[in-house]
Structure 1
Amino acid sequence: MKIGVITINDFDFHPNARLREAALAKGHELSLMNPYRTTCTLGVKGPGVKDWPGLFDLDLVLSRQGALIGDYCLALVDQITGQGIPVVNSRESMRLTRNQFLTLQALCAQKIPVPESFFITTETGFMDAVNLLGGFPVVAKKANSWGGRGVALVENSPMAQVVVDSFLEERKGLLVQRFIPPKGRDDLRVFVLNQKVIGVMRLTPPPGDFRANFHVGGHAAGFDLPKHLEVLALEASACMGLEICGVDIIMNQDKEPYVIEVNHSPGFRGLEQATGLDIASMIIDYLADRYGERPR
């Protein structure tokens, strides 16, 4: 089986390296393509893609662009599927999950618990949200934040002014959310593959930080997921229409769970280190079993 990966990173990037290692071990080929080095074409022969050598020899394309996936890359996914080549995950699921508010909006509509949130476009809206949340502190997030980046804890009015000035873009909006203190809190990353939970880790914020993300120094450890949280993670994955995803669940000190993010291109370095699981091989096995070689 020949697998193409949409990514702006090379094989020095952990997920790409591990996926290639797992693919080769199982007799498959895996190649990378930067989407922004391709050209989408339209004409009498229909939609096409140029500047991607070997595209039509691929059996499957796996998108690994994450929250910063651009409009061009989403258009490219449509061009590829238009050629009869499957893409994992789907364009629509990636469109939703690249935006934190659209993700929470879809989850909330399905009665899946999410943190109390406001999506604002003005400084006045920011302060209104703070008041409705009961005052400072609050959490501010860019809609395309990822890995703990683009996220700030806002503890007072002067800090709010700084965050508004640096984070707020009127046309993109800004999330303002209730702050759940780290004390007594559980931060969980649940890796879902084909509507099955294949790995879970509990993350602990580094000293002096409220963010538990692995990318900002959070400590990862394996975690036995209770059944009700497994159901919650699978509901979130299904709501987003994702075949592969990471579902981030936070529980407050009263152990009330909230889904705070669904990632369509989750990293798994921390999960593999914390659990000893071979996540890369599980992904490759799923792709081979689910799709196999594409009819030519």
Structure 2
Amino acid sequence: MTLRARIGILTVRGMNYHPTMRLAQAAEQRGCGIVAVHPYTVWPAFRKGLPVLSGNSSVQGLDAVLPRQGAEIKDASLPLISHFELMGVPVLNTRRAIERARHKFYTLQTLAAQGLPVAETIFATAPEGVADALQHFGAAGAVVKPVSGRQGSGICRMQAGIRLPSQLQAELDQGRGLLVQQFIAPQGRQDLRVLVLGDQVAAAMALRPAANDFRANFHLGGQARAIAPEPAIADLAVRAAQSMGLEIAGVDIINNAAGNAYVNEVNYAPGFRALEAATGQDIAAAIIAHVLTFVPHGRSSGFLQVSR
């Protein structure tokens, strides 16, 4: 008898949040159940030397887990992710890959170590470091960004001699550091978002910044259109995802006016509202289909134990 597979979505935003809602719809269409796993109501534990979970009992019998906290993920969520892995539950993406992807400079280090092209970037941990970096980049200025963030939040273009905005100063004060990255002018630039599932490109779009903004982000008013990426771009996106150890990845690539491609960011829990709107593709269904390739055929695993 075929049993209904159950997929856990690790989230703090609930089932009405767009990506979670769409994934739940896609899972239901495939005959699967979706369980919202809130990392602050389920707690990893050991009983008699065995990994178990305490708290919310609805997480029993999950066949796979899909972490979807994105850039907002906190350190406290990581042990839960690795606990699912320890218990034998397929997790897409793994804790180790998430740790690389949630920190933008760790991402660049990982990509560069594999010989992939990244923009010139300086990681600064003090105001003096930011000032030196801005001097290095000269009159064109640079893009200053926090090590993590979503939807373009906290990213600004700066020139030498300009005072750091309070939001970015707080990143230094709290010991997180800042990335100071070469500015690539929007004129003649092409910003691409490529969704990679496993070793395949599932969909891609080009983003155009809103007027008077350099950030090509849909949530900041940017315009999106579907594209069929050139083979070299598709290969670069897949290599970037694989170098990060990600099964599901949103790879952001910038082509400058000279046609040189740089991997800018790699997201482990990419949003896909704009991608679905631009391409007309059912991205949620593609993600669920990929997750199900990791689920034992025809049965629920029943891997989880829950201790109250």
TM tier, shorter chain?
over 0.9
Aligned to 1:32: 36
Structure 1 position 68, deviation (Å): 1.8
CA contact (8 A) 1:101 1:175 kept: yes
Partner of 1:57, secondary structure, is coil
Cα deviations by residue, 1:185-212 (Å, 9 ceiling, x for unpaired): 1010000001100100111111111111
Deviates more, 1:3-12 or 1:285-294: 285-294
Q: Does 1:244 align with 2:225?
A: no
CA contact (8 A) 2:120 2:182 kept: yes
Instruction: For structure 2, list consecutive stretches of 5 or more residues without a partner in the other structure.
Output: 303-308
**One-letter amino acid of the counterpart of residue 11, structure 1:** M
Structure 1 position 44, deviation (Å): 2.4
Aligned to 2:222: 218
Structure 1 position 289, deviation (Å): 2.7
Aligned to 2:65: 61
CA contact (8 A) 2:210 2:222 kept: yes
Deviates more, 1:42-51 or 1:61-70: 42-51
Structure 1 position 220, deviation (Å): 0.8
Decide which of 15, 22, 31 is 2:19's aligned counterpart: 15
Aligned to 1:87: 91
Alignment of 1:258-277 (within 5 A): 258-277=262-281
Name the CA distance, whole Å, in 2 between partners of 1:39 and 1:238.
Answer: 30
Partner of 2:131, secondary structure, is helix
Aligned to 2:154: 150
Q: Does 1:193 align with 2:197?
A: yes
Name the CA distance, whole Å, in 2 between partners of 1:168 and 1:136.
Answer: 23
CA contact (8 A) 2:134 2:158 kept: no
Name the CA distance, whole Å, in 1 between partners of 2:217 and 2:65.
Answer: 28
Structure 1 position 286, deviation (Å): 1.6
Partner of 2:146, secondary structure, is strand
Name the CA distance, whole Å, in 2 between partners of 1:11 and 1:56.
Answer: 18
User: Would the alpha carbon gap of residues 220 and 188 (structure 1) be closer, same or farther in structure 2, given more than 3 Å must change?
Assistant: same
Deviates more, 1:128-137 or 1:200-209: 128-137
RMSD: 1.6
Name the CA distance, whole Å, in 2 between partners of 1:257 and 1:185.
Answer: 10
Q: How many residues align?
A: 296
Structure 1 position 154, deviation (Å): 0.9
Deviates more, 1:126-135 or 1:26-35: 126-135
**One-letter amino acid of the counterpart of residue 212, structure 1:** A
User: Would the alpha carbon gap of residues 12 and 19 (structure 1) be closer, same or farther in structure 2, given more than 3 Å must change?
Assistant: same
Name the CA distance, whole Å, in 1 between partners of 2:23 and 2:68.
Answer: 11
Structure 1 position 86, deviation (Å): 1.5
CA contact (8 A) 2:193 2:206 kept: yes
Aligned to 1:74: 78
**One-letter amino acid of the counterpart of residue 66, structure 2:** L
Aligned to 1:139: 143
Name the CA distance, whole Å, in 2 between partners of 1:136 and 1:161.
Answer: 19
CA contact (8 A) 2:63 2:300 kept: yes
Decide which of 237, 240, 244 is 1:233's aligned counterpart: 237
**TM-score when scaled to structure 1?**
0.95
Instruction: For structure 1, list consecutive stretches of 5 or more residues without a partner in the other structure.
Output: none
Cα deviations by residue, 1:23-59 (Å, 9 ceiling, x for unpaired): 1111111121211222222342433211122323111
Structure 1 position 161, deviation (Å): 6.6
Structure 1 position 9, deviation (Å): 1.2
Partner of 2:149, secondary structure, is strand
Name the CA distance, whole Å, in 2 between partners of 1:165 and 1:158.
Answer: 12
Aligned to 1:177: 181
Aligned to 1:115: 119
**TM-score when scaled to structure 2?**
0.91
**One-letter amino acid of the counterpart of residue 247, structure 2:** E
Aligned to 2:101: 97
Cα deviations by residue, 1:162-203 (Å, 9 ceiling, x for unpaired): 575344236211100000111111010000001100100111
Aligned to 1:4: 8
Name the CA distance, whole Å, in 2 between partners of 1:42 and 1:211.
Answer: 46
Name the CA distance, whole Å, in 1 between partners of 2:245 and 2:219.
Answer: 25
Aligned to 1:203: 207
Name the CA distance, whole Å, in 2 between partners of 1:200 and 1:151.
Answer: 23
Which of structures 1 and 2 has the larger relative contact order (alpha carbons within 8 angstroms, sep 6+)?
2
Deviates more, 1:58-67 or 1:168-177: 168-177
